[in-house]
Structure 1
């Protein structure tokens, strides 16, 4: 399994968190993988064989070759059918809203073909450029030119949103929104409206996901520590609260996260961020 991340150019670094590529040989036995929420939207190009996403225990869809995955608040269960080769852009929580004209809440918990967002002609041209590119460096240049062109037509970054996200990240999701806004109800309502428009989640939901990310990293780096200690360091009220939030976003218990075969990909993502 070859997973790599690449930093964006400074011109686009305010929108794009990173680019990533993943390659897995077809000889590796295919198994379902559980992708957990991380608060970011992604534009993904599937350059290898088909990938299934399960919508129930037995039913699945074949993911289109060029998609945007919206904010997810529940795990995605995917399964490769052969050779895996993906290239993607991972956006900051507020990043992708600057590139489209529809509310990003409409994209939540699903994958949307880029043709539905940018039109068939534009999407086909972009997809072909990514497919025929000589490598990831060229793919990054292609996407950055596309993103910058779209951004010039639709700047929507709001400082109240970015400042709140920065504060949540600094506190690893453990600071309440009321505390950040000094219990100002009018400000909270304004912030929630802007969050849904630009992030696709409420501030509270994003805070919970950020805190989950911090707990996941602790679990992976300190596998011998008790769940009580992980919950304490992640500033959950108690272990029961930690387990409840963990299951809500991942679908499994924290102990199962470390030992379950279908968490391999999520573990890889978190240990390399």
Structure 2
């Protein structure tokens, strides 16, 4: 399993967190992989064999070859049918709202084909450039050119949204919204409305996801840490609170996280993020 990340062009660095690639040989028997919330939106190009996304225990759909997966608020499962070769763009929480003209919340917890967002002609042209490219650098050049054409005025990124996300990131998700808006708590309703428009989830929910990501990374980097230590370092009320949030976003108990083969992909991604 080979996962790599790449920095975006400086002109896109305000909205794009990274580009990434994932390759897995087709001769490996791949179990279902649990995908968990990370607060970001992904634009994905499936270049290998099809990928299943499970809608329940035994039912699944085949994911579109080119798609955007919106904000994730609950875990879901994917499983490759053979060779995995994926190229993708990971957007910051507020980033993707700057290149489309529809409510970002409509994209949550599902895959949306690129044709629905950018039209048949523009999407097919981009697809062919991505498919025909012989190197990742060429794919990055093609998708960045496309994104720059779609990008609206960067002033549409509301300061109140970006400053709140920055504060949540700096506190690893532990800061309360009231503490962030200390200068004017009355801004909260305005913030909620702008978050819904630009991020697709509430600031409180994003804060929980960011804090969970910090806890996951700590568990990967320091597997000897106890759950009590992880909960304390990430400012959960107590271990019970940590376990409750962990299970809500991942579907499993944190004790089973490091040994769960359905978390191999997530663990690989978060270890490099």
TM-score exceeds 0.5:
yes
Match of 2:130 in 1: 130
**In structure 2, distance between residues paired with 1:247 and 1:185:** 31
The Cα shift of 1:184 comes to 3.9
1:99/1:154 contact within 8 Å kept: no
The Cα shift of 1:96 comes to 0.2
Question: Post-superposition, which runs of at least 4 consecutive aligned residues in structure 1 deviate over 3 A?
Answer: 152-155
2:98/2:152 contact within 8 Å kept: no
2:93/2:199 contact within 8 Å kept: yes
The alignment's TM-score, normalised by the length of structure 2, stands at 0.98
**In structure 2, distance between residues paired with 1:178 and 1:46:** 41
Match of 1:116 in 2: 116
Q: SS of the residue aligned with 2:223?
A: coil
The Cα shift of 1:154 comes to 7.7
Q: SS of the residue aligned with 1:141?
A: helix
2:39/2:93 contact within 8 Å kept: yes
Match of 1:54 in 2: 54
The Cα shift of 1:256 comes to 1.1
The alignment's TM-score, normalised by the length of structure 1, stands at 0.98
Counterparts of 1:189-208 in structure 2, within 5 Å, are 189-208=189-208
The Cα shift of 1:153 comes to 6.4
Q: Does 1:80 align with 2:76?
A: no
Counterparts of 1:181-220 in structure 2, within 5 Å, are 181-182=181-182, 184-220=184-220
Gaps in structure 2 of 5+ consecutive residues? none
The Cα shift of 1:135 comes to 1.0
The Cα shift of 1:71 comes to 0.1
Q: Which string of whole-angstrom CA distances, capped at 9 and with x for unpartnered residues, describes residues 100-130 of structure 1?
A: 1110100000111000111111111111111
Q: Does 1:156 align with 2:156?
A: yes
Match of 1:63 in 2: 63
2:246/2:254 contact within 8 Å kept: yes
Gaps in structure 1 of 5+ consecutive residues? none
